[in-house]
């Protein structure tokens, strides 16, 4: 995995789109040869295809895929870590037992599903895991950051955390949670 991408925050993209457009599959009834569907990203391949939902820099081809209902995005699992300051453990748990509806709505609108955060009291590590099912990760994370209620939520929770990313400032500025590599998956 690209080292810059592995340090990328869930919420803020680090690179602009550089992908070139692709042609969408042609209908078999039009007489033209149908293009094969875009291959699904697998956790074990180690690199992102330029057409994969796992590549946050590739937005235009993915937007075209979205318009073609025959191509279904099965998602990309993302895992991240940050350290929770010991004096905020109970408060952090209380906040997350009552996440603001506006924050939950924005998470869903940004194509994030199956989102969980775990805490290891021995190390203070918070482990977040979620499935991204959209086609434009960078765009969706930009929309997340643009939501005032989400930024307000981050301002509350960032103060309870210690980033493991060198030079990180805040969730809103990007790179707060450190992405971690998947080493095993069984469905």
Give the tens place of pLDDT for each residue, 15-24. 333 333 333 3
Res. 53: pLDDT tops 90 = no
Q: Burial level of 128, CB count in 10 A (0-12/13-18/19+)? A: middle
Place of tokens 């590549």: 55
Distance (Å, whole) CA 125 – CA 64: 38
CATH 3.30.390.30 for domain 3-21+46-179, yes or no, is no
Res. 80: pLDDT tops 60 = yes
| From 72, 96, 113, 149, active-site residue | 96
Domain ranges (residues) in the chain: 3-21+46-179
How large is the average pLDDT for residues 121-148? 96
| pLDDT given for residue 68 in this prediction | 55
| pLDDT given for residue 93 in this prediction | 98
Are 175 and 181 a contacting pair, CB within 8 Å? no
How large is the average pLDDT for residues 24-43? 40
pTM (predicted TM-score): 0.63
Distance (Å, whole) CA 91 – CA 180: 25
Q: Burial level of 74, CB count in 10 A (0-12/13-18/19+)? A: exposed
| pLDDT given for residue 14 in this prediction | 38
Active site residue 41: no
Distance (Å, whole) CA 58 – CA 136: 7
Res. 51: pLDDT tops 60 = no
How large is the average pLDDT for residues 48-77? 55
């Amino acid at each position: 995995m690209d080292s810059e991408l592995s340090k990328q925050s869930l919420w803020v993209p680090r690179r602009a789109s550089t992908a070139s457009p692709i042609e969408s599959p042609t209908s078999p009834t039009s007489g033209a040869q149908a293009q094969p569907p875009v291959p699904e990203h697998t956790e074990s391949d180690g690199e992102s295809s330029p057409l994969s939902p796992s590549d946050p820099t590739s937005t235009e081809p993915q937007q075209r895929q979205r318009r073609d209902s025959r191509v279904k995005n099965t998602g990309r699992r993302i895992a991240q870590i940050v350290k929770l300051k010991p004096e905020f453990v109970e408060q952090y748990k209380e906040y997350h037992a009552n996440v603001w509806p506006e924050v939950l709505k924005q998470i869903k609108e940004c194509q994030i599903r199956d989102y969980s955060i775990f805490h290891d009291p021995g190390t203070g590590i918070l482990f977040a895991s979620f499935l991204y099912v959209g086609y434009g990760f960078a765009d969706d994370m930009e929309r997340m950051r643009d939501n005032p209620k989400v930024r307000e939520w981050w301002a509350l929770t960032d103060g309870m955390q210690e980033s493991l990313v060198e030079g990180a400032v805040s969730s809103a500025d990007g790179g707060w949670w450190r992405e971690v590599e998947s080493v095993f998956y069984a469905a």
